[in-house]
A and B are shown apart, each in its own frame.
Chain A
Amino acid sequence: EVQLVQSGAEVKKPGESLKISCKGSGYSFTNHWIAWVRQTPGKGLEWMGIIYPVDSDTRYSPSFQDLVTLSADESINTVYLQLSSLRASDTAMYYCARRTVGATYLDYWGQGTLVTVSS
């Protein structure tokens, strides 16, 4: 069974940093890119970026280019999303999702990680 399991909910203060993990199992981890998607009530679903775990080739959405860093550790089938200088507006649900082979559709999703930024 394909699974993406994300790390748990976080509560952070403005200005702090955060790293969320996403561990894949049940499939060949090296065959699929992993995307990160943010969801907020105000802006809905937003693509943040996508990473290929084998060589860490990464593409960032312009809206998130300077805000996030994606990384991967192929040896443990895990990708990471790092958010720096958190603001209240970063309060959101963050999802990782597996990209299909050959086209950028997201066929399996993690359960989501709720991040709350509050002073």
Chain B
Amino acid sequence: KQEVTQIPAALSVPEGENLVLNCSFTDSAIYNLQWFRQDPGKGLTSLLLIQSSQREQTSGRLNASLDKSSGRSTLYIAASQPGDSATYLCAVKGTSGTYKYIFGTGTRLKVLA
């Protein structure tokens, strides 16, 4: 059974810092991995999607990497800004043909001005 873990659960950093959020999964047989951002009381916004055949994806100041063999993905945020404050979630989809995406509990990020 796939399990997804995100560490740390919460993170507070000063503005301008480069930071890394971690996502671990127990079953390496995945179809893709997706990173999301969630603002309080809102829905999830897709940030990056990495297919199982890819090693990384980039969008602006965000870079996500995937190492299937070790069951890990990292989300790198460069030059963090107060507007980056949100909860970041990762989700993996297995290759079994199911539509099931398994989510981590998220990392709550606060960037201080």
Does B bind A? no
Binding site for B on A (CB under 8 A): none
Binding site for A on B (CB under 8 A): none
